Structure 1
Amino acid sequence: MPSFVASFAFLLILNNMLIAESTFGVEYWGIPTVMAVGASLYKNFDKFLGCRFSECCSLRTGSGGWMPVNISGLASSLDNNLHGQHLVKNIVLKSLKAHFSNRDPSKLQIQDWIRGNVSDCENSLFIFDEIDKMPVGMIDGIKPFIDYHESIFGVNFRKSVFLFLSNTGSREIIQKTLQNWKEGKERTSISYSDMEELIQKGAFNEQGGLHQSDLIHHSLIDFYVPFLPLERKHIELKVADDMIYFPPENQLFSTKGCKSVSSKVGFMLNEDIYEGMFN
Structure 2
Amino acid sequence: LQIQHPETVLLPIIVFHSNAGADIITQTALDFWDKGRDREEIKLKHLETSLSQFNNDQSELSLIDDNIIDFFVPFLPLEYRHVTQCVMAEMEGRGLQPDKDVADRVTRDISYVHLSENVFVKSGCMTVASRLNLYL
TM-score between both structures, scaled by the size of structure 2: 0.58
Map 1:151-162 → 2, pairs under 5 A: 159-162=11-14
Secondary structure at the counterpart of residue 176 of structure 1: helix
What is the Cα deviation at residue 173 of structure 1? 0.3
Match of 2:91 in 1: 243
TM-score between both structures, scaled by the size of structure 1: 0.32
What is the Cα deviation at residue 195 of structure 1? 1.7
Could you tell me how far apart the structure 1 residues matched to 2:98 and 2:66 are? Answer: 55
What is the Cα deviation at residue 270 of structure 1? 5.9
Map 1:18-37 → 2, pairs under 5 A: none
Aligned match of 1:202 in 15, 33, 54? 54
Could you tell me how far apart the structure 2 residues matched to 1:235 and 1:202 are? Answer: 28
Match of 1:226 in 2: 74
Q: Which runs of 5+ in 2 are unaligned?
A: 110-126
Could you tell me how far apart the structure 2 residues matched to 1:256 and 1:166 are? Answer: 31
Aligned match of 2:44 in 168, 189, 192? 192
Match of 2:20 in 1: 168
Match of 1:268 in 2: 129
What is the Cα deviation at residue 160 of structure 1? 2.5
Secondary structure at the counterpart of residue 193 of structure 1: helix
Equivalenced residues, count: 107
Match of 2:120 in 1: none
Could you tell me how far apart the structure 1 residues matched to 2:21 and 2:67 are? Answer: 17
Could you tell me how far apart the structure 2 residues matched to 1:165 and 1:228 are? Answer: 13
Q: Which runs of 5+ in 1 are unaligned?
A: 1-114, 124-158, 245-253, 272-279
Closer/same/farther in 2, CA of residues 193 and 220 from structure 1, 3 Å limit = farther
CA RMSD of aligned residues (A): 3.4
Q: Name the amino acid aligned to 1:229.
A: P
Could you tell me how far apart the structure 1 residues matched to 2:64 and 2:99 are? Answer: 50
Closer/same/farther in 2, CA of residues 270 and 191 from structure 1, 3 Å limit = same
Map 1:60-75 → 2, pairs under 5 A: none
> Quick check: which one's helix share is greater?
1
Map 1:14-93 → 2, pairs under 5 A: none
Contact 1:173 1:228 in 2 (8 A): yes
Closer/same/farther in 2, CA of residues 230 and 256 from structure 1, 3 Å limit = closer
Contact 1:181 1:187 in 2 (8 A): yes
- Percent pairwise identity: 26
Could you tell me how far apart the structure 2 residues matched to 1:233 and 1:256 are? Answer: 15
